Amino acid sequence: MSKEALAMTDPVVVLAYNFPHRKTQDFLFRLFAEGIRVEHVLAADPVKLNVPPSSIRSKLRHGALIDPAKVAKAIGANYHVVPHQGDQINALLDEIRPTIGVISGARILRRPVIDRFSTGIINFHPGLIPEVRGLDALFWSICKDVPLGVTSHLIDHRVDAGCILERREIPLATDDTILDLSERLYETQVEMLVTAIGRARAGQWEQIDYEATEYNRKMPAELEAGIAELLPAYLARWANG
């Protein structure tokens, strides 16, 4: 059976945000369009993070996003407003007994939640793991001269770690901007959904050693200020078109 067929055999549970959010919206629509049934959406309210804003804008500003509860209803999924850790979600997962989860919006998940998914929970990281784990993956990739790409993986208790499903580099052009790169990284995550689910269901993952690796925290302002200067040489090195 192909990985695409395997991906469609059982419904998935999507961990999402309980507010209009592009990745939540696009993942739900893409799964529906690909014939993968989303049985439950576990949507968490926003949590204020103590992370300073970047001086470089790397995300497009979006309007006209759809409320995730409305999207879930349209695709026939059960919608639950629930925090992504604690007794409430643990009890719900004990009732649901999920096989596989997909993160379309979530903060760090803890073992009690992760361990309740018999196959696991898939995350899509906008950087190559293990080279570029953690925050600001786009900026750190440029700073460390690492190719830009997306990694799908089954998460564990560590940050951006676990079993690797796929590492996919993105194409680059010498006239790309930071916004171009960020958007292409995002679109690649959406494109990788079906393959990641199929590989997870088939047990097609790679276990790697993370002992010598580390995850990146928020990029310091002094390093972030030099990204624009580094970008032309980075693109000249890695562009393939």
Supply the pLDDT for residue 47: 85
- pLDDT on residue 79: 98
Q: Which two tokens stand for residue 31?
A: 């799964």
Total number of domains constituting the chain: 1
Q: Crossing angle of helices 137-144/227-238, nearest 10°?
A: 70
- Structure pTM? 0.94
pLDDT of residue 9: 66
Stretches where the chain sits below pLDDT 70 are: 1-9, 241
Rounded Cα distance, 156 and 117, in Å: 11
Residue with tokens 């059960």: 78
46: left (phi over 0), alpha (psi -120 to 50) or beta: beta
Quote the Cα angle for 176-183-194, to 5°: 130
Neighbours of 102 (CB within 10 A): 24
CA 166 remoteness from chain centre: 12
Q: Which domain holds residue 28?
A: 3-238
Task: Kindly report the CATH number assigned to the domain that includes residue 36.
Answer: 3.40.50.170
pLDDT score recorded for residue 240: 77
Q: How many residues does the chain have?
A: 241
Distance CA(59)–CA(90), nearest Å, equals 33
